[in-house]
Each structure stands twice: as C-alpha cells, then as structure tokens.
A and B are shown apart, each in its own frame.
Chain A
Amino acid sequence: MNKMQKKVATVYSQVEISSGIFDLWLSEEEIANSAQPGQFIGVYCNQDSRLLPRPISICEIDEVQGRIRIVYRVVGGGTNEISHFNKDDKITILGPLGNGFTLNNRTSVLIAGGIGIPPMLELAKQLQGDKHIILGYRSETFLVEELSKYGKVYIATEDGSAGTKGNVVDILRTLSIKMDDIYACGPKPMLKAVKDYAIANKVDAQLSVEEKMACGIGACLGCVCKTKDNEGNIVRKRVCKDGPVFKAEEVEL
C-alpha cells in the first residue's frame, strides 16, 4: 500500500462550480504521485479551534503536474474556511488515505449521488472498458461535461430540472446492458439500494462508504461500519483504514 504522509500543499486554484460546491486543485507532488481513485485526503483547517482533518475524497489526480483535485460541499465552519483559500495559500493535508476502488476494467456502471460524484471522475479516467455513468443531483448539476468524456452519462434530479426526475437507482434498474461491475459512492440509502440490486442481479459491486471521522488513519475507531465476515459474524471495520471502499456483499448498510 502507498505511504500516507502529512504535507503542506499549495493551493493552485479554487472555484465554486455549483451552489456551495467548491473545486480545489492542490499542488503536492508526493501525494499526487501515490494517490489512487477512491482514496481520500484529510484537510486541516488553519484555525486552532478546528482540530480534526476534514476527510474529502480525491476527485482527480494530475501526476504530471503533481496536483490533486478535491470537489467538496461546504457543510460547516471547517469546509467554509477551506472554501476561502486562494491561489498560493498553504494548506496542510494528510494522505492518500484509505483503500480506493479495485479497477476490474470490464463493462462498468459508475453510480453516484450528490457529493459522492467527485471520486467518480478519476475512476472514470483510469478505468478501461465500456462505462455507463449514472449521476444523481438534487437540482443543480456539476462535473457532467468532464465525466461525459469517459463514458455514457445518465442524469437523475430530484426536481426533474435535468435528466429524468427521480433517483439514480431508478435509472440503474432500467439499464438494458450486461454489466460486470458497479462502482458506487453516495448517500447511505442509495448505497443500500445499489447493494440490493447488485446482489439480486449477481453483479460485482464496490461501494464507497462515508462516516464521521476523527483521525483518518485507523486509530480512533470513530468511523466504523458493520461488515460480515465469512462465517456471517458482524465485524466493525474502520471506514478510513479498511475502507472507504467495501465489497457490496461485505458491508452492512
């Protein structure tokens, strides 16, 4: 496994690409060179009162320029502080963290909702084979054009303002393709529906799970999720260290 490191990164660019959704490119060569799709970084705030790193998934990796990109939603004081960083500002990050997706390079469905969409970009870039990309939004869309470069994109919105009205799992159920793999990231109810679909249809699925974290490196046991071992016993695994990507049949949602 690649080595995680704590590094001071430099902000290369930051823009708001949708209401409350920010797109931040960070220059940090070593982390960029070892990061894999589906991994995440811990982003530290500069304010002393905010101790813990914010876990944010890696959206894109530029090994040539030594940069990584995160696309995140402002949900509180910490992410709000991060959203105010400007070009050339210094920002401490920890990463790459966790285990990313296993790329099987067969006919794939990438399915994601809301702020679960960003990690699909680097995955779509690196993954070989036919790709069907299902994206779910409340209303405003983002990253659609970029993802369209790597596969056929389907969109669902809750209010019907773009694509079909409804959710991503409705689209998944109506896809008339022979799929080998599903890669998913999004809210828990979505992941649960994807898991049920994958098991019922005997499709291999990898789910990227989210949980509140403290350390991000496997020490605090804050971010556990329930998994089943081979004998069917419930085992609590760490989302940060053992995940965030789990096999559908393994993780209990």
Chain B
Amino acid sequence: MNLSVKIANVELKNPVTTASGTFGSGKEYNEFVDLNQLGGIITKGVSNIPWVGNETPRVAETYGGMMNAVGLQNPGIEKFIQNDLSFLQGFETKVIVNVCGKTIEDYCDVVRRLADQPVHMLEINISCPNVKEGGLAFGTDAAMIEKVTKEVKKYAKQPIIMKLSPNVTDIAEMAKAAEAGGADAISLINTLLGMKIDIHKRQFGVANKVGGISGPAIKPIAVRMVYQVAKAVKLPIIGLGGIMTGEDAIEFLMAGATAISVGTANFANPTATIDVLNGIEEFMNKYGIKDINEIIGCM
C-alpha cells in the first residue's frame, strides 16, 4: 500500500500533518503518539519577535467545535530555532514552519531567518482572525495575497504554502491570487470568525470578543472550499477543518487535497493524528486502494 504523497517536490510518508496551533511543535504530543509516524508537523505560528497573545479567556467550546482567540502567542523566531527546531530534528517527519506577521516585512524577516534552517516547507499564515493587524487583513484581499506571496518568495529557500482564510466571499479568487504570486502550495481552511455570549453573565466567550471557530461543525464548509480551490488552481492543497477520523480525511482527499491536517481533534483526543492515519489505511484496505494518490481529487 502506498501512502506517500508529494507537495511541491517534498515527499510526505503519508498525508497526515498537524494543523498549526493545535500541536505546538509536537513536544506535548510526543507523550501520546510516535511523531515519526506523521507525514509532517506544521508548527505553531512563529513571528520575528515574541508575541504575548490575547487576554484570557482565550478558548470556549461551541456545539461540535470550539472557538479560540489565542492571538498567536509565540516566543519569536530565535527561541523557536533554539528550542523547537532542535527538538524536531530528532524525528523522521517533515517539518513545516507556520510563519505569522503584522507587516510584509515581518513575514520576510522570519522567512529569511529560516532559509538555512532544517525546515522542509514554510506555511504563511495570512488568515489568523485573532490579531488586529496583519493576519486576516492580508488573507481577505486578493491583491494583498498576491503581494505577500511574491515578497516572501523572494527570500524563501523552501517551498511556500499559503494558508487561506475561509472568511471571504470567493475562496477560488484568493487561491488564484496565491498561485499568481508564485505559491508552491495552498492550505485551507483556517478558522471561521465567530462569537459566543454567556447570557447568564453577559460576557463574551473569549476576551477578544471574536474568535476562530474550528472542529467538526465547520467540516462541510472546509470540504466545499477545498473542492472549489482544487478546481480553480493547479497547486497542491493541504486540506483541513474539522477532521476527526480517517473517513473525514478521505473526504478531503477526494475533494482535491493532497495532504490533510488534524487540528482541533488533537484537543479532543491526543492520539487523533495516529487514529486518523490508521483510519485512512483501513479505508484503503476496505476498498482495495493500493495507492492513496488514486483517490486524490477523484470527485
């Protein structure tokens, strides 16, 4: 059985990766799963300087999902290289670093700093709904997406994955802009902007008032957007949004994703990544599929 897939000439041993921000850099999950079994680890977003993130509460459960407004708290690129990248070198998996910023220069700083580091791909987060500047502002404007992509491509030594926001009217237009800017791959979807109110206390669910909704509740939206993007561009896609099981992952692959990420499921089940991988294999066995690439984009 072949499970390996290729994204921008980087071979993943299987299509299972981790959604940025739900898996740290793998340290916390190393106690529950064998990280060597994963196709890739997409790290928590890292910026050029340390970010403190938002006030608490930062998380709230929603029906079939959750809302977060962490605000990309991270230690900055230097500490990340020292602590996180060095940790990840011990594993046989592809390392994909998620890069965040408030300005184009911020993104380029991090991309430049990572050029000679042991990193296989970079994922550019232009879609975080929880930071006031940058983030989502870049991800909802096609001209801006093209511009950011072009700028980071000037400095990048590794393939660039542009992570798209679902908080747009026409996702295909955003994907085309990333392609025009020279992106090597696309990942989608990031979280959907939402709000929760505690009616008893008359308080917002998260201190930031709005947060990103993730989890199985948003999966049909993610599958639809992956399908639309797969039809609109030639780039390989990493699909994510509410994947809890192997069957969920298969749905994304059929819709056109070459690889998938497991996100919120990690919080609901610390062995979710491996459970999804086992579920994919079971499905292939059941239907006699010899190569996972046979079903990618079959719809």
Interface residues of A (CB under 8 A from B): 3-4, 6, 44, 48-53, 78, 94, 211-215, 217-225, 234, 236, 241
Contacts and interface: CB of A to CB of B under 8 A. Distances in A.
A219 B59 contact: no
B116 interface: no
| Dominant secondary structure of chain A at its interface with chain B | loop
B27 to A, nearest CB: 8
Contacts, number: 88
Q: Give the residue among B58, B267, B271 with the most A Cβ atoms within 10 A.
A: B267
B56 interface: yes
A51 B61 contact: yes
B210 interface: no
A130 to B, nearest CB: 36
B227 interface: no
26 contacts: A6-B270, A48-B64, A49-B63, A49-B64, A50-B61, A51-B268, A52-B59, A52-B268, A212-B58, A212-B59, A213-B59, A214-B66, A214-B68, A215-B267, A215-B270, A217-B31, A217-B270, A219-B29, A220-B22, A220-B68, A221-B44, A221-B73, A222-B59, A236-B52, A236-B53, A241-B28
A211 B57 contact: yes
B194 interface: no
Interface of B: 21-24, 28-29, 31-32, 44, 52-53, 56-61, 63-66, 68, 70, 73, 215-216, 264, 266-271
A156 to B, nearest CB: 24
Q: Which 7 A-B pairs have the closest CB atoms?
A: A222-B59, A51-B268, A212-B57, A215-B267, A219-B28, A214-B59, A218-B28
A214 B56 contact: no
A219 B53 contact: no
A224 B58 contact: yes
Nearest to B72: A221
B57 A220 contact: no
